[in-house]
């Protein structure tokens, strides 16, 4: 811009001199020689007027050049940048109507064209949306079904990169690892080998390929996965084939069998105790009997000693068998035929059973929200039926009702009635009476049924309405409750991207790969101040992932960090993070290693990202992790794209690109905003020929602002 202004100035300044010289040349032929001598002598005898005239001409030329530059050249460059934003990134961006009349007319015409383009685009997109509606419904249905499954489900491409996962899979693979401090992250584009042993998975896939080659149409390979913290998962691998039966990837289902494995181990121990533990006693008894039989003439004292030994070993065996019987009975109690069912279905089934079996009309009530229970339905039905029968006889109970209610992790079955109250001593006697016989032929009393469910039962005095009641308390099913909760939080499941079936997600030459093909982690931090080398510390970190050109809003990192020093009041006024909020939070030595695993195999992006990376680098010795990732700075990229836009704050850039700003000055909020800005920048960079990571880094380094962003 300055070069064009200088050229314009020279043109304006030289033009008057050129005109004077041409005019003088034409007039010299008509002027007499003596007059020419007079005119030639004027500048030498009166230099002031000539110098003044020259100054006026130069000043006038400079003023004209500056006016034209300010009124036309600079606005034209800004208009060109704004037009590119409309064409490539933000259709709703509009040019400013400030400046000269001509510039306002140009901007107005471009805005009108943009309005027309937006209207046409909206019409076309509406038609496309109608055509895609059925496909979108199928997509949402698939997402909802996968999210509601109680099993963990992952879909992977042939490289083992995750294309789809449900909340249950995320919980199974992340929860136990985080409890041991070795958390990995489930996410689109990440490798399944971070969670499943590579050898086990390779063996299963080899078996699948072998069976597919043999023409086996129904292939399912099971194996067991041992996870950190003693977690045991049952895994099944099923291939995904195209129409030509070519291998495109696989589905991996996971189920937590830790408790089941523990039960089997305990039973094995019982069996070993029964066999190995009695072997020595039996051997001793056999030896004593054989000695008595071998020496029939043995004296009486010797015979009594051997008989005493036989008696002692028999008593020991009897004691061990009694203990094993009790232990095995307890083991059976923990292995009732439990099933997961909705609480509303349970009370409805109890109501039908009481009405059909006992002839009593039992009113039932359950909340609308789903409450899952893991129960032996028959045992609970028989227990309630027994209580109804006893209450009818002992308390003249009538107008009975059964209400399902949840309080925290417990569910109450409140059986109320009109009639005499129930005394605690009577309930104790009832609790010892048999209510059913289980599948092993063992009679169970009321208390044993409740105990096997991990519950409790007690009688209440009359409530406010004058009706006494008995409450049976049972635990909720954590597995189904967690699955429902995860699905609700995830909004019908997590993102998936089946386009990753068609392409490799592992970029070997990252520097020369297209920007749209790379995976990114966009980060932001909140700190105690702006001087990382002067002792300021990180107090919050937020990060979000971009895979295959999509912002994955559910795959986030969000953590407060406990600093070593108090947070200054000036910093708190900006980010609203107080000392009370970070008290009890993990230190930087725990947070940065977890973040390092989160950003694995991605390019780090941030707004003024060198500021954040400086904090990470200074903490490397303390945390033991080094962030040597490639980085891109949205602030420097903005300078490369829009050099003529004066306001380069995060809010201004977001406004130009049509990005909404939420939760400003929160680490995660600013990271999400920066991620959306970066996605909007990619087509603008490509239009300028900046298509690879290497080109983007070079363009950033070439901006004048790059020299002022070193920490």
SS3 state of residue 191: strand
Q: Give the integer Cα–Cα distance in Å for 391 and 388.
A: 5
SS3 state of residue 155: strand
SS3 state of residue 98: coil
The kind and range of the H/E element at 470 are strand 469-475
Annotated catalytic, 665?
Answer: yes
DSSP string of 225-251? Answer: EE-GGG-EEEEEEEEEE-TT--EEEEE
Closest CA to 346 of 358, 328, 364, 360: 364
Q: Give the integer Cα–Cα distance in Å for 506 and 510.
A: 9
Closest CA to 605 of 526, 540, 675: 675
Q: What is the DSSP letter of 39?
A: H
Tell me which residue has tokens 């400086």.
Answer: 614
Structure tokens at 292: 């008595």
> What is the greatest pairwise CA distance in the chain?
175
Q: How far apart are the first and last CA of the chain?
A: 30
Paired residues of 707 in beta bridges: none
Spell out the residues 6+ positions from residue 449 whose beta carbon is closer than 8 angstroms to its own: 376, 379, 380, 382, 383, 435, 436
Closest CA to 351 of 341, 342, 364: 364
| Length of the chain measured in residues | 711
Q: Give the integer Cα–Cα distance in Å for 472 and 476.
A: 13
Measuring CA to CA, how many Å separate 26 from each of 19, 22, 102? 11, 6, 39
Contact 616, 640 (CB under 8 A): no
Q: Give the integer Cα–Cα distance in Å for 172 and 539.
A: 29
Label the pairing between strands 398-407 and 410-418. antiparallel
Structure tokens at 245: 């039966």
H helices of 437-477, where? 446-452
Q: Give the integer Cα–Cα distance in Å for 417 and 355.
A: 15
Instruction: List, in sequence order, every beta strand (DSSP E) within 532-641.
Output: 538-547, 550-560, 603-606, 631-633
Paired residues of 612 in beta bridges: none
Contact 379, 457 (CB under 8 A): no
Structure tokens at 326: 């009790």
Q: What 3 state SS string does 474-542 have?
A: EEECHHHHHHHHHHHHHCCCCCECHHHHCCCCCCCCHHHCEHHHCCEEEEEEEECCCCHHHCCCEEEEE
Closest CA to 548 of 124, 29, 269, 187: 187
Catalytic residue among 460, 596, 630, 665: 665
Closest CA to 183 of 445, 649, 581, 559: 559
φ and ψ at residue 375, rounded to 5 degrees: -140, 160
Residues with a catalytic annotation lie at: 665
């Amino acid at each position: 811009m300055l070069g064009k202004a200088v050229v314009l100035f020279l043109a304006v300044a030289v033009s008057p001199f050129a005109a004077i010289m041409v005019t003088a040349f034409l007039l010299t032929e008509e002027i007499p020689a003596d007059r020419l001598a007079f005119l030639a002598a004027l500048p030498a005898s009166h230099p002031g007027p000539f110098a003044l005239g020259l100054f006026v001409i130069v000043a006038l030329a400079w003023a004209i050049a500056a006016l034209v530059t300010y009124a036309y050249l600079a606005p034209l460059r800004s208009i060109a940048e704004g037009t590119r934003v409309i064409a490539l990134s933000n259709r709703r961006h509009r040019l400013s109507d400030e400046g000269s009349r001509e510039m306002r007319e140009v901007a107005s015409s471009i805005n009108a064209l943009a309005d027309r383009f937006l209207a046409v685009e909206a019409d076309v997109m509406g038609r496309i949306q109608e055509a895609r509606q059925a496909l979108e419904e199928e997509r949402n249905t698939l997402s909802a079904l996968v999210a509601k499954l109680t099993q963990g489900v992952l879909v992977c491409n042939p490289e083992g990169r995750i294309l789809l996962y449900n909340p249950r899979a995320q919980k199974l693979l992340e929860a136990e690892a985080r409890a041991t401090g070795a958390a990995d992250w489930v996410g689109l584009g990440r490798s399944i080998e971070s969670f499943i042993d590579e050898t086990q998975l390779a063996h299963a896939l080899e078996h699948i390929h072998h069976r597919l080659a043999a023409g086996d149409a129904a292939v399912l390979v099971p194996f067991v996965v041992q996870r950190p913290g003693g977690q045991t998962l049952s895994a099944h691998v099923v291939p995904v084939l195209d129409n030509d039966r070519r291998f495109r990837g696989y589905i991996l289902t996971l189920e937590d069998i830790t408790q089941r494995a523990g039960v089997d181990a305990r039973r094995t121990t019982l069996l070993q105790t029964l066999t190995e533990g009695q072997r020595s006693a039996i051997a001793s008894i056999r030896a004593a009997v054989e000695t008595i039989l071998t020496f029939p003439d043995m004296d009486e004292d010797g015979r009594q000693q051997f008989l005493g030994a036989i008696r002692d070993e028999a008593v020991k065996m009897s004691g061990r068998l009694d203990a094993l019987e009790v232990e095995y009975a307890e083991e059976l109690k923990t292995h009732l035929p439990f099933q997961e069912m909705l609480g509303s279905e349970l009370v409805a089934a109890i109501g039908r059973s009481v009405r059909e079996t006992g002839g009593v009309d039992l009113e039932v009530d359950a909340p609308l929200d789903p409450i899952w229970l893991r129960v032996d339905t028959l045992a609970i039905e028989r227990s309630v039926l027994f209580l109804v029968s006893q209450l009818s006889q002992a308390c003249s109970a009538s107008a009975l009702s059964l209400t399902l209610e949840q309080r925290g992790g417990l569910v109450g079955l409140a059986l109320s009635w009109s009639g005499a109250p129930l005394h605690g001593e009577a309930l104790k006697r009832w609790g010892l009476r048999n209510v059913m016989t289980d599948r092993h032929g063992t009679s169970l009393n009321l208390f044993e049924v409740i105990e096997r469910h991990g519950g409790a039962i007690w009688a209440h005095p009359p409530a406010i309405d004058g009706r006494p009641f008995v409450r049976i308390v049972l635990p909720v099913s954590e597995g189904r409750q967690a699955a429902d909760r995860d699905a609700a939080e995830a909004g019908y499941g997590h993102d998936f991207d089946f386009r990753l079936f068609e392409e490799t997600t592992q970029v070997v030459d990252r520097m020369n790969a297209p920007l749209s093909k790379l995976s990114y982690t966009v980060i932001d931090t909140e700190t105690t101040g702006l001087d990382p080398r002067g002792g300021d510390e990180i107090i919050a970190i937020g990060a979000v992932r971009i895979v295959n050109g999509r912002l994955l809003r559910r795959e986030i990192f969000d953590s407060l960090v406990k600093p070593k020093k108090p947070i200054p009041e000036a910093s708190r006024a900006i980010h609203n993070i107080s000392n009370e909020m970070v008290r009890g939070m993990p230190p930087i030595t725990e947070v940065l290693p977890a973040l390092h695993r989160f950003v694995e195999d991605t390019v780090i992006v941030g707004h003024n990202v060198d500021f954040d990376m400086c904090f990470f680098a200074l903490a490397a010795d303390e945390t033991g992790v080094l962030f040597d990732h490639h980085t891109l700075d949205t602030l420097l990229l903005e300078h490369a794209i829009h050099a003529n836009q004066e306001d380069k704050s995060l809010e201004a850039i977001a406004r130009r690109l049509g990005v909404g700003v939420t939760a400003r000055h929160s680490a995660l909020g600013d990271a999400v905003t920066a991620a959306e800005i970066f996605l909007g920048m990619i087509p603008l960079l490509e239009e300028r020929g900046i298509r690879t990571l290497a080109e983007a880094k070079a363009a950033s380094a070439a901006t004048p602002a790059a020299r002022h962003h070193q920490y």
